[in-house]
Amino acid sequence: MSASATVAVLDYGSGNVHSAVRALERAGGTVELTRDTETLLNADGLVVPGVGAFAAVMEALNATGAPRWIGQRIAGGRPVLGICVGHQIFFERGVEHGVTAQGLGEWPGEVTALPEDVVVPHMGWNTVRPPEGSVLFEGIEDERFYFVHSYAVQSWDFDQTIPAMAPPKVTWSHHGTDFVAAVENGPLAATQFHPEKSGDAGTQLLRNWITSL
């Protein structure tokens, strides 16, 4: 991989994503914030950001037709990275304030509220527990990352039905309960935390991802 790897950041109206664009550029990518389908399909890597409510993010994605070609990229082995709610929407569903919204269903599990007896949102720096062989966390296994969320996936039950495929690598963190902080699954990876707000450690994680493209 050279520093000229192209990274498309999906522009579908999800808040301020310019910090993610700048962080990806610092990490060595040639980055474009875009909603052009051809660019999003053909870039070396695609980043799906997301802030706010699960249902609202899914509504915005569906309005642009993004789920179809995000699925095309994943099926074709083209790398995709989700961030924050852009991580959550790759699970089966999200439940917020009694409202259930369907996610993209790439992974099993529900996004549900963190325990009532902890401060929410979970905002600030926290450690993570990456598995052996993680690509994203290579060299930064003991670093802290910046989280801002009140909901998370708190259990993982992946039915590995294809023995020839390596099982997903799941990274955990803890805030009142264990929750999924990141997943690496072939071309699809995602982080609950914000690497673009996580200082040098976040930049290195993005560099690790770009290097793998």
pLDDT at 162: 53
- For residues 46 and 37, what is the distance between their CA atoms, to the nearest angstrom? 11
Pick the catalytic residue from 110, 143, 184, 196.
Answer: 196
Tens digit of each residue's pLDDT (9 = 90 or more) over 58-111: 999 999 999 999 999 999 999 999 999 999 999 999 999 889 999 999 999 999
- For residues 65 and 58, what is the distance between their CA atoms, to the nearest angstrom? 10
The model's pTM? 0.95
- For residues 111 and 194, what is the distance between their CA atoms, to the nearest angstrom? 17
Compute the mean pLDDT over every residue in the chain, rounded to the nearest whole number: 94
- Inform me whether the pLDDT recorded for 134 exceeds 90: yes
Pick the catalytic residue from 87, 122, 149, 194.
Answer: 194
Active site residue 38: no
Pick the catalytic residue from 84, 87, 106, 149.
Answer: 84
Which position has the higher pLDDT, 159 or 183?
183
- For residues 152 and 169, what is the distance between their CA atoms, to the nearest angstrom? 17
Give the H/E segment covering residue 31: strand 30-34
pLDDT at 158: 77
pLDDT at 14: 78
pLDDT at 2: 46
DSSP assignment string, 81-133: EEETHHHHTTEEEEEETTEEEE---SEEEEEEEPPTTS-SSEEEEEE-BPPTT
Residue 141, Ramachandran bin (φ over 0: left; ψ between -120 and 50: alpha; else beta): alpha
DSSP assignment string, 55-73: HHHHHHHHHHTHHHHHHHH
Active site residue 59: no
Active site residue 84: yes
CATH class of the domain whose range is 6-211: alpha beta
Tens digit of each residue's pLDDT (9 = 90 or more) over 20-32: 999 999 999 999 9
- For residues 88 and 171, what is the distance between their CA atoms, to the nearest angstrom? 14
